[in-house]
Amino acid sequence: MGSKAYLIFGTASVLLVFASLGGGCGSNVSFTAASSSTGQGGDGGFIFLQGGGGTTDPGVGGSGGLPGIDDPGCKDKPPPIEDFQCDAYNQNNGDCMPGEGCYIYVQYPSQPCGQEVYGSFCAPAGTGQQGDPCGGGFDCGAGNVCVVTGSGTQCVQLCPLFGDDGCPAGLVCEPIDVEGFGGCL
Amino acid sequence: MSLTWSGRASFVALLLLATVVDCGGRTELEVPPPLPPKPECELDADCPGADDLCAPVRCIDPENFDGELPELPPGAVLPPRVCLVVDPVDCDDNDPCTNDSCVAETGLCSYSDATLDLDGDGFRAPRDGFLPGAPDSCGDDCNDASALAFPGNPEICDGVDNDCNGIVDDGSIFEPLNPNPLRLSSDMLAPAGANGLAFDGDTYLSLFAGGNGETNMFLSRITQQGQLSSPNEEPFTFQNADAFGGEILWIGDRYGVLWQERRDGDYEVYFTLLNKAAEKAIPDTRLTNAPGFSINGTLAWTGNEFIGAWQDERNGSFDVYAQRISVDGVPIGANVRLTDAPFDDEAPSLAVGVTTVALAYGNSNAGQNVRLRLFNLSDLSPITGVIEVTLGVDAVYPDVIWNGDRYLVTWFVRTGSEKAVFGATFDEAGNALTPPTAISNPGPFRSRYPTVLPLGDRSLFIYSDDRDGNDGYELYSRMVDQQLAPIGPEQRLTNAPRDSIDPIATFGADGNVGILFRDDRDNAMHVWFDQLACVTMPQ
């Protein structure tokens, strides 16, 4: 069934609010009101870092008679909006004031087929380092990000998705659900 | 003739009896006799449920009715005409192998098979909670996802327990099949990650996520010979927001897929069915609607229905929730909360035994530890309390499989002196059979990301390890017996720069094992596929 190596970044303390963006083009979804909860949450305060998953299945045979359907999805969706105000991979380049760090964030679409927003901004730096528990992005030091990993919500060091990742020995760079960023896990 | 009085409202009024009040010296009032009750109906059509021929409601005169009337409280009087259920249809044929029901429109009984033969091999899967062939099991197929597994079939090297003796490919070993693995994801989809792999009897179907920006999921088919086929990098999700993770299962005539996606402003869990052509057969079905993230989904098949589980943030911290799903992809009941503990419960994995469902998950109380809990197969009610599989070690990302007569829980230890892949086994009552046992031996280095295939009397572990100093992790395999003792050495499967991680394995044709994994050898994160060959050993 594979490992679960997803990471989520903490943006609970991010105060940026974006208006509802994008238009609906209709997704092919059936919904079951299986939850007793009311409504759905916001951004949850975190970002994913993506990795494994999957399953094993010793299946053989069968004829497969189910008819197919068309999934309209969001085929004409607009591209994500990007608003990077500083370089999170280069924390000491002068983009932010002393004592601040450059933090990445994501704003999930508030409606089907809306636009995601990716960006970064300067904020007072936290102290959390690789592997430290965290509850939001600002708990982590500059160059780190608070992610839900499936093995604790923790600060992880940002890493590039291509080439040498620069992660500490034994750690692996996993994609975060913010465009262009990875975290060491 | 049996009866049930359907009239209740008017009957209550009959219970109001006149009373005499003594007010000290005053003359007693003369209380008139109670008025006769009004008729409840004039015609059958006046009675609610009159058109249900399974429990026909009739308007009858109790005075001229020769059947049994309902028992009344003292002082109550039946109206002159009442609505009564007359002769409800009893369709119970006392046969546990049929589902008995009555058709309301016709009043006729309907009987359907209580078990399924999804793989079409002529042998039915047993009822939930029964071993194949057991009394009242109504089925003796040990694997209804495979037409090559049924009682009396000769055993061959094909990854299937052909003869249903509880052992897959009796006595075989597994060796690398191809000199080089196959890359599935194109440059456009980097970074990409492996999500799921299943084999439908003819080809493998892989599910992976990719894209530098919005992450979507894609399907690629791989032939038994390890070649790409159609669909190739076919979009599975078409949304505006990230979708990834989850699992894909082949159950004999269709695939079940569970994943997470934030199309609706938050990560929620979705499910769909694919036909053998890998086309969606039903709309994406959203399983969760709750505050916070619903993520890290896992999927199991009981033989009659799917069970999905995931970590869910609706209560503040993460708990594990589950959803039963019919073979046709319809949710059964509501989300079921499986864990309720302080601190986060994360990274769930499900396996189905004979009468129970096992949930392995990580818990962040006092560091990262692995827990196990068993649930009733039919309704997910708890069978055991929380079983602490590990305590005091940094144990993460558990996985659980059912292997013959026991559950095997696996995980890896992230820090400490022995950063290895571990396993432990439990029976269906939750009793420990084998304590936590190191499967790999990385020395001062590390082993991670175990995936395991059950062989009945053995288990095949596939995992990553960075012991060789080859610029990252490589894939390894090792066979162990039911007591988790090694059978043979650890076997290195990949040899390339950078990381080879997150293996997902499934049995394929001729007993070969397909492996989907992430590999960074091309200087970017891509999804690759490789196979192990089944080699029959002399008995």
pLDDT surpassing 70 at residue A179: yes
pLDDT surpassing 50 at residue A23: no
Q: What is the pLDDT of residue B21?
A: 36
Q: What is the pLDDT of residue B245?
A: 86
Give mean pLDDT, residues B140-152.
92
Q: Going by C-beta distance under 8 Å and a sequence separation of 6 or more, which residues neighbour residue A38? A: none
Q: Which of B76, B64, B67, B57 is nearest to B5 (CA)?
A: B57
pLDDT surpassing 60 at residue B109: yes
- Partner-chain contact A77 B149, CB within 8 Å: no
How far apart are the C-alpha atoms of B119 and B201, rounded to whole Å? Answer: 10
Higher pLDDT, A123 or A47: A123
pLDDT above 70 covers a percentage of chain B that reads: 94
Residues 25-64 of A with CB under 8 A from B: 27-37, 39-44, 46, 48, 50-64
Q: Mean pLDDT lowest for which of A11-25, A141-155, A167-181, B145-159?
A: A11-25
Confidence of residue B27 (pLDDT cuts 50, 70, 90): low
Confidence of residue B44 (pLDDT cuts 50, 70, 90): confident
Asked if B289 reaches chain A (Cβ–Cβ under 8 Å), the answer is: yes
Chain B closest-CA separation from residue A97 CA (Å): 28
Residue tagged 């049995």 (tokens): B507
pLDDT above 90 covers a percentage of chain A that reads: 41
Chain B residues close to A78, C-beta within 8 Å:
240
In contact, B439 and B410? CB cutoff 8 Å: yes
CB atoms inside a 10 Å sphere around CB B392: 10
Give mean pLDDT, residues A38-62.
36
Q: Going by C-beta distance under 8 Å and a sequence separation of 6 or more, which residues neighbour residue B270? A: A29, B243, B258, B259, B260, B261, B284, B285, B286, B287
Q: Which of B162, B229, B243 is nearest to B196 (CA)?
A: B243
Q: Mean pLDDT lowest for which of B44-48, B211-215, B348-352, B397-401?
A: B211-215
Higher pLDDT, B453 or A41: B453
Chain A closest-CA separation from residue B70 CA (Å): 39
- Find the CB nearest A59 among B200, B279, B280: B200
Asked if B466 reaches chain A (Cβ–Cβ under 8 Å), the answer is: yes
Confidence of residue A53 (pLDDT cuts 50, 70, 90): very low
Chain A closest-CA separation from residue B10 CA (Å): 36
Asked if B336 reaches chain A (Cβ–Cβ under 8 Å), the answer is: no
Asked if A134 reaches chain B (Cβ–Cβ under 8 Å), the answer is: no
What would the pLDDT profile of B427-475 be if each residue is shown by its tens digit?
999 999 999 999 999 999 999 999 999 998 899 999 999 998 778 999 9
Q: What is the pLDDT of residue B28?
A: 67
Asked if A153 reaches chain B (Cβ–Cβ under 8 Å), the answer is: yes
Asked if B346 reaches chain A (Cβ–Cβ under 8 Å), the answer is: yes
How far apart are the C-alpha atoms of B145 and B163, rounded to whole Å? Answer: 14
Q: What is the pLDDT of residue A32?
A: 36
Give mean pLDDT, residues B80-98.
89
Give mean pLDDT, residues B76-91.
85
- Partner-chain contact B241 A109, CB within 8 Å: yes
pLDDT surpassing 60 at residue B24: no
Give mean pLDDT, residues B83-102.
90
Q: How many CA atoms lie within 13 A of B211 on its CB side?
A: 23
Greatest mean pLDDT among B93-102, B174-183, B273-282 lies in: B273-282
Q: What is the pLDDT of residue B167?
A: 85
pLDDT surpassing 80 at residue B23: no
- Find the CB nearest B147 among A58, A61, A172: A61
Confidence of residue A29 (pLDDT cuts 50, 70, 90): very low
- Partner-chain contact B347 A4, CB within 8 Å: yes
- Find the CB nearest A3 among B240, B270, B502: B502
Q: Is B183 helix (H, G, I), strand (E, B) or coil?
A: strand
Higher pLDDT, B190 or B64: B190
Beta bridge partners of B286: A31, B270
Q: How many CB pairs under 8 A join A and B?
A: 382
Q: What is the pLDDT of residue B280?
A: 96
pLDDT above 90 covers a percentage of chain B that reads: 67
- Find the CB nearest B147 among A60, A113, A170: A60
Q: Mean pLDDT lowest for which of A74-83, B210-219, B327-336?
A: A74-83
Most distant CA pair in chain B, distance: 113
Higher pLDDT, A42 or B32: B32
How far apart are the C-alpha atoms of A108 and B524, rounded to whole Å? Answer: 26
Q: What is the pLDDT of residue B352?
A: 97
Higher pLDDT, B79 or A77: B79
Exposed/middle/buried for B533, CB within 10 Å: 0-12, 13-18, 19+? middle
pLDDT above 70 covers a percentage of chain A that reads: 65
pLDDT surpassing 90 at residue B477: yes
Task: Give the alpha-carbon dihedral of A148, A151, A153, A159, to 10 degrees.
Answer: -60
Mean of the per-residue pLDDT values for chain B?
89
Q: What is the pLDDT of residue B538?
A: 56
- Partner-chain contact B290 A61, CB within 8 Å: no
